[in-house]
């Protein structure tokens, strides 16, 4: 279908809508989840095909809740029960929150489907949001049925404590995305409001809360959560690293727990940066600090390059080393020349014939003079064997 045809179809759509579509008086219904279409065999092959096959993934099987309250289901969860249910698709295709068995959801009936442009009776039923019956991110079921096949509730997980203006997206098992800001008034309740202004934004992605049965709500803890990413603007965070005090006396970087300009902090037991095809590139305006209590390894199948105007290895009393490295090829050439001169001198001495007492030893004098000339020449070249860029302690 061309773009023009699509627009014409949309233009004619209003005339084909049901008369009560989007009516202000349209009642809101509540459905109790009985099953969720999650695959060819979930909950059963029959329900998967009946709901629409692969296009129905994420749809629910539900029973309508009336004024008598939640439905107590007896018997097995099988096709006999599922055939009594209605089907509702998720309202949004980009923001899906899968309900669990026993939870209540809002039901929206008589909404358009893929065929509504052709047939005004082609309407669908959708569900929107889990009703927050118990105020829990874990489970809001209204009956004691098993909430799912793979889902396991963790009673230790607490809801995140919100602050004014927060936008928080919480998962069921202790993961969350918080869009927040500095809250000076509640500095004692979170870690990011010690300094700054109340309009300083911060974004926190957390996975794996630090469980504590003694608290009612939870606030992210950068040192105790399993993994987290912090995007700050002007906050100071109490990040604990494996090295404290002066990290590098030569560059003196600001300690991680004292920095308060915009920064990104990634904190976990292990951090992996992997490029499947091209480079991993790290840039810094000032310094790049690599710190560990163990070993830094640089591994390459071909080469390792250290490219700088000056390279220092080690320190001496917290000062830069001054001992230049030796250039191998130049040193080798000088040593070869020295050995050649000594060899020639030794050869000359080995063939000297004795002279009368008091007469000059001409052969020895000539060999010695040649050796001295070679030594002077080698001495003049010694300075050239020292590196002008690379120094060590």
pLDDT tens per residue across span 247-282:
788 888 888 999 999 999 999 999 999 999 999 999
Residue 389 reports pLDDT greater than 70? yes
Q: What is the CATH number of the domain that holds 354?
A: 1.20.58
pLDDT tens per residue across span 65-87:
987 778 888 778 999 999 999 99
Residues 68 and 118 in one domain: yes
Q: Is residue 139 part of a domain?
A: no
Residues 120 and 220 in one domain: no
In this prediction, residues 358-382 reach a mean pLDDT of 75
Residue 38 reports pLDDT greater than 80? yes
Element holding 63 (H helix, E strand): strand 60-65
Residue 374 reports pLDDT greater than 90? no
Strand partners, 88: 60
| Residue of higher predicted confidence among 380 and 57 | 57
Q: Which of 130, 163, 193 is the last residue of a domain?
A: 130
Residues 163 and 111 in one domain: no
Residues 203 and 334 in one domain: no
Neighbouring residues of 392: CB distance < 8 A, sequence distance ≥ 6? 312, 313, 314, 321, 323, 325
pLDDT tens per residue across span 97-117:
899 999 999 999 877 665 544
The dihedrals phi and psi of 218, each to the nearest 5 degrees, come to -125, 145
Residues 288 and 207 in one domain: yes
Q: Is residue 376 part of a domain?
A: yes
Residues 109 and 169 in one domain: no
% the chain with pLDDT above 90: 46
User: Is the whole-model pTM more than 0.85?
Assistant: no
Quote the number of domains for the chain: 3
Residues 218 and 289 in one domain: yes
**Domain span including residue 281:** 155-297
Q: Among 51-65, 178-192, 369-383, where is mean pLDDT lowest?
A: 369-383
Q: Is residue 310 part of a domain?
A: no
In 10 A of CB 90, how many CB atoms? 20
Q: Is residue 137 part of a domain?
A: no
Q: Using alpha carbons, select from 196, 197, 203 the residue that is nearest to residue 168.
A: 203
Residues 123 and 177 in one domain: no
pLDDT of residue 359: 56
Q: Is residue 214 part of a domain?
A: yes
Q: Is residue 136 part of a domain?
A: no
Tokens of 86: 């209605």
In this prediction, residues 195-217 reach a mean pLDDT of 91
Specify the DSSP class assigned to residue 53.
Answer: G
pLDDT of residue 7: 38
Judge whether 330 and 384 are in contact, CB under 8 Å: yes
Strand partners, 86: 62
Q: Which of 249, 279, 297 is the last residue of a domain?
A: 297
Residue 44 reports pLDDT greater than 80? yes
In this prediction, residues 35-45 reach a mean pLDDT of 93
Average pLDDT, the chain: 84
Residues 268 and 355 in one domain: no
pLDDT of residue 3: 38
Q: Is residue 40 part of a domain?
A: yes
In this prediction, residues 90-101 reach a mean pLDDT of 90
Residue 23 reports pLDDT greater than 60? no
Neighbouring residues of 382: CB distance < 8 A, sequence distance ≥ 6? 334
Residues 292 and 159 in one domain: yes
Residues 8 and 118 in one domain: yes
The angle subtended at Cα 282 by Cα 240 and Cα 325, nearest 5°, is 95
Residue 129 reports pLDDT greater than 80? yes
pLDDT of residue 112: 66
pLDDT tens per residue across span 313-369:
888 888 888 888 888 888 888 888 888 888 788 777 766 666 666 555 566 777 777
Residues 187 and 268 in one domain: yes
Strand partners, 265: 230
In this prediction, residues 144-155 reach a mean pLDDT of 85
Q: Among 9-13, 298-302, 310-314, where is mean pLDDT lowest?
A: 9-13
Q: Is residue 312 part of a domain?
A: no
pLDDT of residue 357: 64
């Amino acid at each position: 279908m061309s773009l023009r045809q699509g627009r014409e179809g949309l233009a004619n759509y209003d005339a084909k809508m049901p008369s009560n579509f989007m009516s202000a008086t349209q009642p809101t219904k509540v459905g109790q989840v009985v099953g969720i279409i999650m695959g060819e065999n979930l909950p059963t092959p029959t329900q998967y095909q009946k709901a629409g096959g692969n296009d129905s993934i994420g749809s629910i099987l539900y029973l309508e809740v009336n004024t008598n309250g939640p439905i107590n289901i007896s018997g097995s969860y099988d096709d006999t029960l599922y055939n009594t249910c209605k089907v509702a698709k998720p309202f949004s295709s980009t923001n899906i929150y899968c309900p669990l068995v026993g939870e209540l959801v809002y039901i929206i009936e008589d909404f358009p489907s893929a065929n509504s442009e052709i047939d005004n009776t082609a309407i669908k039923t959708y569900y929107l949001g889990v009703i927050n019956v118990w105020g829990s991110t874990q489970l809001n079921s209204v009956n004691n049925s098993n909430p799912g096949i793979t889902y396991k509730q963790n009673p230790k997980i607490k809801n995140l404590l919100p602050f004014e203006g927060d936008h928080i997206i919480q998962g069921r098992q202790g993961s969350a995305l918080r869009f927040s800001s500095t809250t000076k008034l509640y500095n004692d309740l979170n870690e990011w409001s010690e300094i700054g202004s109340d309009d300083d934004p911060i974004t926190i992605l957390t996975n794996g809360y630090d469980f504590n049965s003694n608290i009612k709500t939870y606030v992210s803890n950068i040192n105790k959560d399993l993994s987290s990413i912090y995007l700050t603007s002007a906050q100071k965070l109490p990040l604990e690293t494996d090295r404290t005090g002066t990290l590098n006396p030569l560059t003196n970087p600001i300690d991680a727990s004292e920095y308060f300009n915009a920064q990104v902090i990634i904190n976990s037991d292990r951090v992996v940066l992997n490029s499947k095809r091209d480079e991993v590139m790290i840039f810094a305006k000032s310094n790049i600090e690599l710190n560990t209590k163990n070993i830094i390894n640089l591994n390459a199948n071909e080469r390792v390059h250290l490219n700088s105007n000056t390279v220092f290895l080690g320190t001496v009393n917290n000062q830069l080393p001054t001992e230049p490295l030796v250039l191998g090829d130049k040193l080798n050439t000088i040593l070869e020349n020295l050995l050649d001169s000594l060899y020639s001198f030794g050869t000359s001495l080995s063939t000297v014939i004795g002279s009368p007492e008091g007469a000059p030893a001409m052969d020895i004098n000539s060999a010695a003079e040649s050796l001295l000339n070679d030594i002077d020449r080698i001495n003049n070249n010694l300075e050239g064997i020292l590196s002008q860029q690379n120094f060590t302690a």
